[in-house]
Chain A
């Protein structure tokens, strides 16, 4: 019974909603802390989910963040409807950004979003379709290599 324990929750994220930036990531972090997960693992999840949430807010029309927690593993799936990423390899390069001048003015768009997510997690999958959207899957092992 306990072996099948999975906690799932979904958080909607609205594109362009900078006022609520970080709200979903913050809630995810709180939930993980309450489940007694090691604080360093929680921090990795916090950093990854914050960056992922910001990507939706900055570039997409709308998206959903899905949190799934089972013993030993945290998975955060982010699905958005938006422009998609033309060159995923390029987007994974530190410092590469398509952020507008306006976003940079606000302190975003340093080109560290996806690289930071990859650094914080243990497994990372990204599928993107131009004009449709992006599907991002982040897996963090409790006591994983980064912890």
Chain B
């Protein structure tokens, strides 16, 4: 398939100076520095974007959809993440932002908060019907889904099989719009606006769908300047949107992009929200060891504080969070979705995965069990020889990983300058 874009993240070789920041930050140890350049090991990357956050040389880039690509569609629809409402200060109302997005070039823009509310209601229904296993894990964050596939394969069956709001919204629009507009489906482009690098991967290579209902993802970072311009140009429009708001936002769905926001609307289930990739891994380790079985639902987001901490947003995440909390407070617990509609869609399996999330096998030390054991032995002996200072000079993120690379045949002991030094002294 689309091999080239197996990942959303790539390193621009010209800009990379071969420092060790990205390599040290990578939670799955997917980066090595070879010949003075950082390289990503495709099989290990889960597109979390930690490398992008820490690169001091702007050498880590993402494949997201460009504006030019939108011209392929006759009718362009945007479904922004609710993170966008936190990007433009507290004087700018969500309705103005949606209106500005129309001026930027989208024929229609749909607020996602109602669909977020619908998703929470569907999850509640699923939890009622399925007593085991516990805890279920939400499928909203594509990085967490990939992390589970790679590192916690046994937990794949605990991913709650309801599609996230972005896919549900696109699926609904895809069912309705061609008839409403009298246009062939392929002429309608449905684009997600996102602070997340991994959404593009979940669109190109969905983990639980045959095909994504979205046509692409534009980063909030890329669209931000256009929206600012549109907002500046149209103070009258802003006044009109203040006086005649046209979208009724869901209070239940408004805080969805903050950690805990997905599960806040649950009425009769116990949920725990975790955010940040390291903390997520810590908690998934516990789930794998059989803990947290008294929790119904575990909401995990790879980014700190939830999607609002996504690497491709613009506003300082604390300000964005504060702004969204204001909006949540303003809309209260207002529900805009009819529970009967949710139930109907749910029982038609309209909201479900096409297929379960399946493990992605990480190559073991050796395919032969006895040889794998011997290699694990040898790796431990090698590790004892290394300085354990995790300096990264060898091109691996830490000494343990270098030992692992050596037994896998992708590095040599001589790559460690300190081991060589000791030998020379003798």
A interface residues with partner B (beta carbon < 8 Å): 2-3, 5-9, 22, 25-26, 29, 31, 33-37, 39-40, 42-43, 46-47, 49-51, 69-72, 116, 120, 142
Contact = CB atoms under 8 A, between A and B. Distances in A.
A2 B368 contact: yes
Nearest to B365: A34
Interface in B105-148: none
B226 interface: no
Interface residues of B, number: 25
Contacts of B374: 2, 5, 7
A34 B405 CA distance: 12
Interface string B351-384: 0000000010010111111111110110010000
Contacts of A116: 290
B362 A33 contact: yes
B285 A22 contact: yes
Given A22-B289, A50-B290, A69 B373 contact: yes
A40 B156 CA distance: 12
B288 A36 contact: no
Interface of B: 153-154, 285-286, 288-291, 359, 362, 364-374, 376-377, 380, 404
A113 to B, nearest CB: 11
Interface of A is mostly: helix
Contacts, number: 78
Nearest to B285: A26
A34 B365 CA distance: 6
A24 B241 CA distance: 58
Given A22-B286, A34-B365, A42 B370 contact: no
Given A29-B289, A31-B376, A39 B370 contact: no
Nearest to B290: A47
Contacts of A6: 373, 377
B370 A36 contact: no
Given A22-B285, A31-B376, A42-B154, A36 B364 contact: yes
Contacts of B370: 2-3, 5, 71
A5 B81 CA distance: 53
A35 B376 contact: yes
B384 to A, nearest CB: 11
Contacts of A36: 364-367, 369, 372
A34 B370 CA distance: 13
A120 to B, nearest CB: 8
Contact of A7 (B285, B291, B373): B373
Contacts of B285: 22, 26, 29
A133 to B, nearest CB: 24
